[in-house]
Structure 1
């Protein structure tokens, strides 16, 4: 991949995030459907709605930059989804619940890094409104990670209490 400007680096990052968010809308629905743990299921459902808002927000950022919203496939996201599908086909119950929480955390870490990068680039390039919108999504991703981490801790405490 050859990129000849910081502006193009920003646009490419936005395309990857646009792909990521659209993939995650479906993946979060799957996670919510597969998860028996109520706290984790609720976190996945809430974040699915928020993720759809992220798609819409990215479309607005593209518009502000004078770009058409486009996807650019992201190997990391594809690998996370493939890894999850394989695990879910072979496991269920509490093991799958805990795995789903961890999969959600991995995804949030990736998104936090990606949004941190595009937010910084947008700010550097003087796209202040786009930077503010991306920073808002970054905060929401951090909040989603916190919520999943809390659900994981509660799940682990409950599992320990049940043993």
Structure 2
């Protein structure tokens, strides 16, 4: 499937449906980009459990992409991406940190933090889309798909937060700060 990238700067957003479609295209971009970025993050961590967490969320994110494709189908549109400056900024920040941090354990801490920031952005993205979809009174298959993605993102955030508060990463921070 060839997916094009929309450029909304040249297109007016005049209706709630236009705004919903714009957000849907942005979500589609975010999830597609994260499939690749989660694979990179899994390769960058040195803790086995984090490696498994990032791999598991990569597989979930592939499901998110598929769900969004069903949303496009439900509203009679071809899947199209619209770039997300928010995600692009988070990825750029993560990439800079990954190359600048020399200590593997500290890099693990930074990557968990990057994951937490990304999950929070995705949660906000889906909450806004669901609110708009509810106001537009779209079909249940649209809101069901968005709510399933939102639920997965909330679960991923909780898992990352528990990793950040848990065992090894907390000890690493204590060791590094003396």
- TM tier, shorter chain? over 0.9
Deviation at 1:150, TM superposition (A): 0.7
Map of 1:142 onto structure 2: 154
Show CA shifts across 1:41-77 (max 9, x none): 2111100000000001000000000111000001011
8 A contact 1:120–1:131 mirrored in 2: no
In the alignment, structure 1 residue 102 sits paired with structure 2 residue 91: no
Q: Which range moves more in the overlay, 47-56 or 91-100? A: 91-100
User: What CA distance in whole angstroms lies between the structure 2 residues aligned with 1:28 and 1:152?
Assistant: 17
Deviation at 1:134, TM superposition (A): 0.3
Deviation at 1:157, TM superposition (A): 3.1
Write the mapping of 1:48-87 to structure 2, written as runs, cut at 5 A. Answer: 48-87=58-97
User: What CA distance in whole angstroms lies between the structure 1 residues aligned with 2:109 and 2:60?
Assistant: 22
Q: Which range moves more in the overlay, 122-131 or 55-64? A: 122-131
Runs of 4+ with deviation above 2 angstroms: 155-163
Map of 1:4 onto structure 2: 14
User: What CA distance in whole angstroms lies between the structure 2 residues aligned with 1:73 and 1:126?
Assistant: 26
| RMSD (Å), alpha carbons | 1.5
Map of 1:156 onto structure 2: 169
Residue 71 of structure 1 aligns to a residue whose secondary structure is strand
Map of 1:120 onto structure 2: 131
Show CA shifts across 1:76-118 (max 9, x none): 1111111111111121401111000000000000000000111
Map of 2:4 onto structure 1: none
8 A contact 1:12–1:72 mirrored in 2: yes
Residue 61 of structure 1 aligns to a residue whose secondary structure is helix
8 A contact 2:105–2:169 mirrored in 1: no
Structure 2, unaligned runs of 5 or more? 1-8
User: What CA distance in whole angstroms lies between the structure 2 residues aligned with 1:17 and 1:146?
Assistant: 21
User: What CA distance in whole angstroms lies between the structure 2 residues aligned with 1:80 and 1:6?
Assistant: 27
The count of aligned residue pairs is: 163
Residue 57 of structure 1 aligns to a residue whose secondary structure is helix
User: What CA distance in whole angstroms lies between the structure 1 residues aligned with 2:91 and 2:79?
Assistant: 23
Structure 1, unaligned runs of 5 or more? none
